[in-house]
Every structure is written in structure tokens, then in C-alpha cells.
Structure 1
Amino acid sequence: MTEQTDITPTPFPTPELGEPYLLTPGPLTTSAEVKRAMLKDWGSWDSDFRSMTAQMCRHLLEIANDKNGEFECVPMQGSGTFSVEAMLGSFLPKDSKTLVLINGAYGKRVAETISYLNRDYIVLDKGDYMPPRGDEIEAILREDPAISHVIAVHCETSSGILNPIQEISDVVYAEGRKLLVDSMSAFGALPLDVNKTRYEAMVSSANKCIEGVPGFGFVIARKSELENAEGSSHSLSLDIHQQWRNFQKTGQWRFTPPTHVVAAFMEALKTHKLEGGAPGRLARYTQNRDIMVAGMRELGFETLLKDRWLSPIIVTFFNPSHPNFEFTKFYDLMKARGFIIYPGKLTVVDSFRVGCIGRMDENVMRQVVLAAKETLAEMKVDSALPPEAALIERAKLAA
């Protein structure tokens, strides 16, 4: 199958076309090319589809910069969480002990998954405001030599915090342990070069920074880890080793693949390459974040996190303390203006989230700010300042 890269993606869509922007960490707003790619049916056993899958995996390994051929890409049907569980179940031996780094809902989900797998683990829980740091991890690993693996969430989208993966990786391998990375909402934009940041495996999804649609995830893992994973999985359908072996033997998915989603993802990969790969995408997402955060702060909104830890993927804002502010109404009025935002996922404070990823640019983010301003006016909220108690709590926990 010949790849075509001499195309120009369609302009960024507009709410006036009747399709709202998805200001979420995925599913997200996609291009017209991605949508059109799903209009054709594919045979899952057909050679054209097998060729498409192989080409897709090669592109993903290129994004990871696997120059030496030490890694393999294994796609897995289902949501991103399916692929996270597949990675954990396949690469954590039954007698392993894992340190799970937590600062939000998705780190907690990793720990819950390991519990279901009946593997031993401990946690370093930093709450919602701060990342795990190298010296903390080092101390835990030195105190407990039974720990064999560390698992980190690259971008914790429940708070929007960007975790220091390079720092984490350096400490883990200095202490002779192995790192697994949940890069679900980061891979394809944030750096995760296998030649610079060491890890055994990472997992991501079609509907995140590559800007495809939901339906499958993928694991990029060292060949040596894949070979050693035989017999480790708790599950027939989530066995990464067996999925990999089947691709090697037949070029096919073991079970019915999301054919239309893969075809759409190939279009998304073309646009990703045209934009300059991960660096180009990161530049746009960063600009989106900076424009949106500056505008929201002018309205009085305050971010949950200090600037140092704000990711370019999604940003969490405190709910205003004004008595007329009610999130459900704010959500509905923003949606009526063409923007679907994301509820908060924190237990400490009331919050909401605004995503920066998807087929959107800085002009769209200016429209988001304008829509928020108009919505506040319609709600008769003259100040978006958060409760003083929330800022005190942030200062205390982030100290």
C-alpha cells in the first residue's frame, strides 16, 4: 500500500458547521479526512488490511524513534484502559512487586487493575497537585529491594499534571528496576524517545494525540519483554505476547479488529507527519494551552496547578465561588456555543477541565475564552474567582 503525504489537511472545523469542538482528552475533534476514511469497509483477513496494520505499527515505532529495532508495536482492540490492563497483565510477572506512582484518577486505576490481577504492589500517592519526584522514588526503591517494576502515568489528565518521566526513568534504572509508562494522553505530542527515556513498555490510544477515533490502543514494548511475557497474562483476549506472536505469524489481529478505526488512524498519522510529527503537534497544543489559560485567567478563573506542571493536553480549573455559578448550566451553555468541556475528576475541590488537543488551533481557543465570557455573563456571574479555601488548600498541598 502506497502512503500519500502530498496532501494538505482540511482547515480546522468550526462550530458553525453544527459539530461542537470536543475540549476533552479524547475522544476529540477529528479532521474531515479522518471521518471520511471510515466510509469504506475492509476485510479483516484481507492482505490490504494486513498491510495497513503493519504500516501503522511502523509509523508508531518511528514516532517512538526506535532506530535500532529493539521494540515492537502491538495494537490491541478496545478502549485505552483495555490496553493498559493488557500491558500490566502481560509484563508484570505473577511474582512481581510494583511501585505505582499516583497523582490522580488514572494512577489509581492502574493500582486497582494490579489488584484485580492479584499482583503485589505499593503506591506513592502525591494527591492532585504535585508530581512524584526522583528522590522520593529512589528512597522507596532502596528501602524495598523486592520492588521489580515502577509504573508512571505520563500525563495525569484528571488534574492535567505533566509528570517528569525522564527524571522518573533515570532513577528507576539507576536502581536496577523496570519502568512501564501509561502514555495514553501524551504519546504523539510529548517526548517519549526510546533512545533518551528508558522504559520497557508504554501504552497509548488511537483517540488521543495522534487525533484518531476510539477503538484500539497500542503497546510499544522491548522485544525482550515480549518474548519473556509468554504465559504471564491473566486473560485470553488481553495477552500481549499472544497478540504479538499472531501478528508475526499471520499479520492479522487475533480477534475482530476495528477496521474502520484503523483506516481512520492511518489518515490521522498522515496529518501528524505533515504537521512535523510529535514536535509540531506539541507546539500547537502548547500554543492552544497558553492562549486558553491566559484568556481564562483574565476572566478570573484559576488553574488547579501552577504553571510548571501544566500539561499541554488538558487544564483543570477551579469552579468559581460565585453563588450563581452552577457547573451543569455552565456546561450546557458552553455546549450551546459549540464547545463541549469536561467535568472535574477530583475529590478535593470542585473543578472542570478544558482540553487543548484535537483538531484545534489558537484561534479556536480564543473562541473558547469568548464563549466562557459570554456564558458567565448569561449566568450573571461577574467574577470567576475560585473559593479562597481552594487556593489555600492548593498552596498547602503543593508546598
Structure 2
Amino acid sequence: MSLPAPSAPVDRLVLLNPGPVNVHDEVRTAIAAPDSCHREPEAAALINRVRVKAARIGGGDETHTSVLLAGSGTAALEAVFSSVVPADGRILILDNGHYGDRLHRIVSVHDVPRRHLEFGWTNPIDPAEVDRVLAADPSLTHVGLVHHETSTGQLNPLREIGEVVARHGRQLAVDAISSLGSEPVDIRADHVDWLVGTANKCLEGLPGVSFVTAPRHRLDALETVPARTFYLDLYGHYISQDRRNAPLFTPALQVLNSFEKALDLALAEGTAARGERYAALAGRIRTGLAERGARFLLPPGHRANSVTNVHLPEGIGYDELHDGLKAEGYVVYSTQEQLAGVFRVANMGQLTEGDIDGFLAAYDRVIAKHVEAAA
């Protein structure tokens, strides 16, 4: 069989990993903003603009605000899950993958009173089971959920779970790190009390900034909750940014400049349109791999629009596939140890149909070389 010549672009890697992503040129350029001091009025203005835009991307209105943190999405997760549960409260962690387990590890490290409800990797979270557990255990005051569990590519039923949690009068904290910007998320309609996002996935910014969006009254109520951590004390960051008009600690101002541009682009495109763009690219990946005999980890109805988890072709290891593709200009992603034999192909960021077609052609060449070498 005659294979097409390598078509990977020579000036960039096509990032098919679930963040960081290939970004818009305007986002990349924005990081070259002039050096500035984080205690000056222009820095405060930038922080306030980004807070407003970050709240808007999650469906927040004037009753909501965002708190910015210098760090990856896990920094914002730890800020929320270590800060929002009072000493007499208890949180129910919903877990069906690596990142659900990460939530449990965060609350365990901080000795937050907790209950761990596991559904098993690749299984969707069942709102009826959440309903049953909350009805039977009034000590549970909070619920933690990962919306898009990228370890498997599973999209969990946020709206349905939010309705259950709200009906029981509990608070819902959501890891929307890998969904916000491309999947439908509405902090009000979904009954979310604490929404965690990051710059460098479906919002198509650069790594280094994460954020928490919440109703102001929820943030104000944290005044009476003793801090369990110093740097990631959510109430401390909120009061400093919102009342004192200054960051609590030194922020990543240059990255914030880029993030503001990314938010502007995301708000202009709209979540629905970006979701359609991502879904079309994911469809192109899935169709192309299916035509090549690939087996997928999840059935179609469970998959998010930005990550596809695929079983490795028979006889080839992940390192061989990854290294062969990277040599051609394409970066795919491994999975955790629980899913040995599976790799991930993401389509977040500024990707084109040509990028996907080039990946599929490179995939053919890598597999053909493997078959030839094994003969």
C-alpha cells in the first residue's frame, strides 16, 4: 500500500493531548505585554476584567463572581475542596475515574469530613444513586463532581445531578476544568455552587491561571469557615481581589493578559459554536480511527466532545505509537495505569480538519512501519 507523505507542519506540534492546547495567535501574542507591577492600578483592572469574563463563560450573572489563582486547575480544585466544607459539614465525592479520585485525595489530605461514592471507571454517574445516598444521609452538606472525566472521556450528567443536589438543599462543587467552554455549563441552571475552571483547555488559553466561579453569598459565607490551607485559602483570595482590589499573592500577569484574550475569543465564538466545532473534529477522529479498525473505550452516548479514548492497535505499545506520531508532529496522550492499553486523542484548541487528516495519515505510517518491522 502506498502511504501519503508526511504532512505534519514543520513550525509547530499539533497537540492532541487534553491540554495544554494549540492557541490562537492573538492569545500567544498577548503574553508579550509590557512588564508591570501586580500592585498597580492597571494590574487590578486586568484582574477585575478577567474575573467578570470568567464568570460569564460559566453562565454567571451579576450575583456571581470569579476568584483567580496562579496555578493549574488543580490549584483551584484544592482551593475549593479545602475551603468550602465547614467543620460540621461533610462532602460526598462522586468518583468514576482518575479525576474523581483526585477530588477524594484532595479532601483526604486536608482531613475534610467525607464520603467516597465510587461508580467504577467507564461507568456513568447515576443521579438516582446520588439521590438515594443524599436522602439517607443528612450529614452530607456538599457534593463534589467531575463534569468531564478525561481519564476515560466520560461526560457526566451535570444538569441531572445538579437538580438532585439542589432538591436536597446541598451545595454542589464541580470540576469543569475539561468541559468549560465547549460543553454546556450554566452555573445557575445546573444548580452549581462552586465551579472550577482553567485557562489552558477548552478555553484555549495558556497554562498558569485557574479560577473559581461562585455566587457572592457563597463566598461571603466562607468568612466563618476556618482556613485549612494558607496559599489556597479561597476566602482570603476572594476578599483580597474583591474588597481590597489587589491580589493576595503575586499573580501571573502575563498569562492573565493571554487569558483575557482567550476569554474574549471564547465569548465571541460562544460555547455552543465551539462545542459544534469540537464535535465535528471529534467526529472526524472517531470516524477515521473506526475505519482503521480501532476500538473505543466508551460507547458514543457517553463521550465528551473533546477527548476520544482508544485501545492501542494489537501488538504496538503506547511509547512506540506516541514517539512515532511525535516524530511526525502530532502529540497524543497516555492514560492512567488502570487503563493500560488505551491512549487518548483530544481535539481541544485551535485545530483544523487538516490537522486531523494529517494525524490520521501519520497514524497509518506509524502502524505500517510497526507491521513492517515485525514481519
Query: Which TM-score applies when normalising by structure 1?
Result: 0.88
RMSD of aligned alpha carbons? 1.6
Note if contact 1:331-1:340 (Cα within 8 Å) is conserved in structure 2.
yes
Instruction: Please tell me whether residue 354 in structure 1 is matched to residue 345 in structure 2.
Output: yes
- Give the alignment of 1:283-294 within 5 angstroms: 283-294=276-287
Give the Å deviation of 1:176. 2.1
- Letter of the 2:122 partner, please give it: Y
Query: Which TM-score applies when normalising by structure 2?
Result: 0.93
Partner of 2:235: 241
Secondary structure of the structure 2 residue equivalent to 1:217: strand
Partner of 2:58: 64
Per-residue Cα deviation, 1:11-36 (whole angstroms, up to 9, x for no partner): xxx94242101111111111222111
Give the Å deviation of 1:348. 4.5
Partner of 2:329: 338
Percent same amino acid at aligned positions? 28
Unaligned runs of 5+ in 1: 1-13, 383-399
Give the Å deviation of 1:362. 2.6
Per-residue Cα deviation, 1:136-179 (whole angstroms, up to 9, x for no partner): 11111122121111110010011110000001111111122211
Residues 252 and 381 (structure 1 numbering): CA distance in 2 closer, same or farther, change over 3 Å?
farther
Higher relative contact order (CA 8 A, sep 6+): 2
Which stretch has the larger CA shift, 363-372 or 373-382?
Answer: 373-382
Give the Å deviation of 1:251. 2.0
User: Which residue of 263, 270, 280 maps to 2:264?
Assistant: 270
- Give the alignment of 1:366-377 within 5 angstroms: 366-377=357-368
Partner of 1:159: 152
Partner of 1:301: 294
Residues 377 and 201 (structure 1 numbering): CA distance in 2 closer, same or farther, change over 3 Å?
same
Secondary structure of the structure 2 residue equivalent to 1:380: helix
Give the Å deviation of 1:349. 4.1
Give the Å deviation of 1:95. 2.2
Give the Å deviation of 1:346. 4.5
User: Which residue of 23, 36, 40 maps to 1:42?
Assistant: 36
Distance 1:375 1:265 in 2: 36
Partner of 2:4: none
Partner of 2:123: 130
Secondary structure of the structure 2 residue equivalent to 1:229: helix
Which stretch has the larger CA shift, 327-336 or 187-196?
Answer: 187-196
Secondary structure of the structure 1 residue equivalent to 2:214: strand
Note if contact 1:128-1:346 (Cα within 8 Å) is conserved in structure 2.
no
Distance 1:77 1:173 in 2: 31
Note if contact 2:309-2:342 (Cα within 8 Å) is conserved in structure 1.
yes
User: Which residue of 73, 93, 98 maps to 2:91?
Assistant: 98
Partner of 1:203: 196
Instruction: Please tell me whether residue 19 in structure 1 is matched to residue 12 in structure 2.
Output: yes
User: Which residue of 298, 310, 327 maps to 2:318?
Assistant: 327
User: Which residue of 344, 364, 369 maps to 2:355?
Assistant: 364
Distance 1:204 1:217 in 2: 6
Unaligned runs of 5+ in 2: 1-6
